[in-house]
Structure formats: C-alpha cells, structure tokens
Amino acid sequence: MDFTLTALPAAAPPDFDDVIDVRSPAEFAEDHIPGAINLPALSDAERAEVGTIYVRQDRFLARKIGAALVSRNVAAQLEGPLADRDGGWRPLVYCWRGGQRSGSVATIFEQIGWRVARLEGGYKAYRRKVSERLYEMPLGLRLVLIEGGTGTGKTQLLEHLARLGTQVIDLEGLANHRGSNFGGWPGGQPAQKMFESRLAAEIAALDPARPVFVEAESNAIGRLLLPPTLWTAMNAAEVVTLRAPLAGRARFLTTTYPDLTADAELLRKRIETMRPYQPADRIAAWHALAAEGAYASLAEGLIAHHYDPRYRRPTGATRHEIGSVEMTDVSDAELARAAEEIVKLAGPSD
C-alpha cells in the first residue's frame, strides 16, 4: 500500500514501527526523514555501477544486475538489523521518488508477511513538504528571541526554559555549531538539507497558541543558513535581553569551550581566524594568553574587543523588546532564575 504525506510530520508517522530509508548511504547522509533507519538497497558504489550500465550499456542488464544486488543486500539486512522484527512489524519504506528501490524492498517484505507501506513520491515528496514549510509558508508561531552578548549562557538558558515546560527551538543544537568563530563542534555540521529537516520536524511539533523561545542568531550558524520563513519571523519577533558582568561571562566561556582549552593547536587556529578583524599586536597578545593557559583573560579580551563590538545592534535598529534580565553571574542558579523571569515577561499564551 502507499502512504501519502499530506502534512509534514513532527516525527515518524505513528501508524508505523519504523521508517526505512533504502537510498544509498551518501543520499541518507545528506538528508533523510528524522528518525529514519538507513537500510540501503544499493551501496553508493553499487548505485553508481547500475546507473552507469543503465545509461551507457543496456537498461535490461542494469535492472537485472540491480535486482541481484538488492536481493543480496536485503538478505543481509534480514539476517542482521531486521532479525529481531516479529510478524506484527509495520515498516514505512521510501527511496528517492518511491520507485524501484523501495518497490523491490517492499515486495520482499510483503512476501515475508509484514504489512509494509511505501511513501508515495518518496524522499522527493518529503523534501517538497520541507521546502514549502520553510520557504513558502508563514511560520505561524509567536517567537520570543533571547538576545545577549557572547558568554551570557543563552543556549543553556533554553535548557532551563524547556525544563519549565516552555517551547524552545535550539538552533545551535540543530546546526551542531555554537554560532561564532570559535563555535564548531566535533563531528562537524550537517548538510543544509538535513538541518532543514531537523528544523521542520521541530516546527511541526510546536503549538502555535504558545510562545516559542529561540536564541537570537544571525542568518547563518556556521556554514548553515536559516531558511527565510524562520528568518523573517525572527526579525519581527519579541526580544528579551540577557545581561551579565564581563568577568562572569568570560568565566562561563572557559567552561563551555572545553574542546578548545584541551587542544592548543585548535585554539591557535581559531584565534588566527580573528586576524582579518583585529590588529596584529592584539592577535599576538591573545596567542600569548592561550600559551599561558590564561583562558579567562583571553575570553575577556575576545568579548570586549571582538564579540561585543561586532554584534552590537546599530543605533535605531527596529526591535520589539519586551524586557531584560540582569544576572550577577553566569551560573546554573542565575540562569534558572533568569528563565523564570523571562517566562513572566513573555506573558500568557494567546
């Protein structure tokens, strides 16, 4: 049977036990339905081989070789990752456009006795829904931006807000990046399409009648761009500003960038990225502080001379500020208190 995607799901459709993506590993790595399992009908090399035979030699031969490869791969999956699935298992299977790969796998599953469904239109139909949601439709959510200088703990504040039962979107978490020259996380960032899939799934799960708290960002987080629907809504959103003393912000940064303080060469490279924006003597001084292990002093210098001036809003910039919260330090207790104040400032849901 075919399953039609009438709306973008917040998670895997509830009528199915698993969503199975039978595309190649490279296709899956670029983007997939969040929560899907990759059980490729063809490997990357096999897909390339069959495609070349199809285009340059003979279509019948390509289909014959492809069928043999798919059969062997599915057999390995039945004896491996699918070995524990019982007779009541209900999978939803998809490939690029709901064609031969998902059809071949679904046929084998059906012969086993599983009630399998195929996603009509495949990944291509799913991607079209994501694009509509993020590029064409208005967001339809009441956003409240958390704004504040580097080191004010905005990302951690979102965690405290979530513990209070509020709705949050952690853009930096979805992008696997801390949103600055020093912000890359181990493992790197997802592809743009995968970032958008994660974002679209989160948006689909939100209640439009309740406020949604989001950290204020530029239109890019690392190399990933915020889609226009979200960026437009962020520019029109209400704003709460978080403030804390410089020394407290610097101390906080030394605890939130452990990958940099533990890797002298990585820290040196990140300081070098500041060279186009800072004088040579200041870069040299920062390198000296890093070599001494004076990380709090280094963080103070970076905040005072780079981040605060660079990200300060221009005078007269349009904004809808609904309040600000002053913290005496950037600690877990202060962030918890700030979260409670921000919920009060945002007021009741509509």
Of 31, 200, 194, which is closest to residue 130 (Cα–Cα)?
A: 200
- pLDDT of amino acid 316: 44
Q: Which two tokens stand for residue 95?
A: 């490939």
Three-class DSSP labels, 292-339: HCCHHHHHHHHHHHHHHHHHCCCCCCCCEEEEEEECCCCCHHHHHHHH
pTM exceeds 0.75: yes
**Domains identified in the chain and CATH numbers:** 2-133 (3.40.250.10), 139-346 (3.40.50)
- pLDDT of amino acid 317: 47
DSSP for residue 271: H
Rounded distance between C-alpha atoms, residue 271 and residue 294, angstroms:
14
- pLDDT of amino acid 82: 98
Rounded distance between C-alpha atoms, residue 171 and residue 190, angstroms:
12
Rounded distance between C-alpha atoms, residue 161 and residue 167, angstroms:
8
The torsion angles phi and psi of 208, rounded to 5 degrees, stand at -65, -15
* Residue 133 CB neighbour total at 10 angstroms: 22
Of 43, 19, 41, 44, which is closest to residue 32 (Cα–Cα)?
A: 19
- pLDDT of amino acid 125: 94
Give the bridge partners for 148, in sequence order.
242
- pLDDT of amino acid 168: 98
Query: What one-character-per-residue DSSP string does 108-129 give?
Result: HHHHHT---EEETTHHHHHHHH
**Marked catalytic residue, from 70, 95, 139, 303:** 95
pLDDT by residue, tens only, the chain of 350 residues: 678 887 777 666 778 999 999 999 999 999 999 999 999 999 999 999 999 999 999 999 999 999 999 999 999 999 999 999 999 999 999 999 988 999 999 999 999 999 999 999 999 999 999 999 999 999 999 999 999 999 999 999 999 999 999 999 999 999 998 877 666 777 789 999 999 999 999 999 999 999 999 999 889 999 999 999 999 999 999 999 999 999 999 999 998 888 788 889 989 998 999 999 999 999 999 999 999 999 999 999 999 999 888 776 544 446 689 999 999 999 999 999 999 999 999 987 65
- pLDDT of amino acid 315: 42
DSSP for residue 169: E
Rounded distance between C-alpha atoms, residue 287 and residue 277, angstroms:
15
Rounded distance between C-alpha atoms, residue 158 and residue 307, angstroms:
21
Residues in the chain: 350
Q: Which residues are within 8 A (CB) of 309 and not within 5 positions of it... i.e. 6 or more apart?
A: none
- pLDDT of amino acid 186: 73
Helix (H, G, I), strand (E, B) or coil at 235: helix
Give yes or no: 95 in active site: yes
- pLDDT of amino acid 1: 67
Amino acid type, 238: E
